[in-house]
Structure formats: C-alpha cells, structure tokens
Amino acid sequence: MSTEIIKHKYLSDCFLLRDRINGAVSEVKVLPPGQLPRIKASYTKHAGKFIGVYASEKGPVMFIDAATLPFANTSWVVTLAKLNGRNQFIVLQDGKEIFKADYQPATPDDFDAYSDTESVDLFSWIVAKRHDSEIFQMWTITSGKHLLFSRPC
C-alpha cells in the first residue's frame, strides 16, 4: 500500500492522504475504515496548497502538494520575515520562489510550559529546524520504524 496518513498541524479532524509513489495528496475529515498507520509528519493548508514535513529514510522532507524537498538537499532555502504583526514565509529553490505565505502567526499558550513559536507555527518550525542535526536524526527512519500508530491487534 502506497498511501500514508498525515495529521493536520492545527485541526484534530483533518488528515492528508499522501501517495508515497507519486506524491498525490487529498484531505479527508474522516479516516477510512481500517485506519492506515499514521507517519511522523505534520501539514497545513495555505492558499489552496498543502505544505508539511514528513520523516523518511533520507531524513525530513518538506512537501508542497506533490513536490518534495528533502532537508538534505541544499538547492532550496526558507525564510521567515516578521512584518507588522504578520509573518511571511518564503521557499526558494535554485533561487526561484516556489511558495510564499503571508499569514497571521499563532500565539504560544502562556499556560503551557512547552508551547513556543515553533510548536504553534509549522512555518516557524521549518525555518528553525531546516539545518538542525538533531531534528535530522529524529526525522530519519529505518524501514518499518516510521509508524506512530498502527491498527489495533
């Protein structure tokens, strides 16, 4: 089976079905019967595009719809600018802009000791972790070891 399930970063009832072979994505509100295993991943939807990160054998991979950008690939860069209370997230590949998001950033929860900008904002997390060796190691999987949840026995 080539379909994997990715949980939405912010919405608990949204999931992305992603085909590992061709990268095709579709969002669903209800998981299919006999729920497929989820993978270590997160996504959001912005301006009609699905963007996220998933773990792989070659380390973390950012995706924008069907396009994939492995963190190990140096041909792409991300920037995050803070402009008058809004954020601007830009992805460049080989110097060409391939994704841009202007958005109102989420605010960390002051009552949650583990809440910070990166935990509530996927784009901030991507920028902060793009070259983080610990994250690279944590998001590199060995075959069959990438499942967070599987079907009950």
Tens-digit pLDDT profile for residues 41-68: 999 999 999 999 999 999 999 999 999 9
- Region 26-32: mean pLDDT is 80
List the structure tokens of 141: 């999987």
Model-level pTM? Answer: 0.79
More confident residue, 87 or 152: 87
Neighbours of 54 (CB within 10 A): 22
- Region 55-84: mean pLDDT is 96
More confident residue, 54 or 113: 54
- CA dihedral (50, 52, 57, 58) positive or negative: positive
C-alpha–C-alpha distance, residues 94 and 86, integer Å: 26
What are the residue ranges of helices labelled H in the chain?
117-120, 122-129, 133-138
- Region 24-39: mean pLDDT is 76
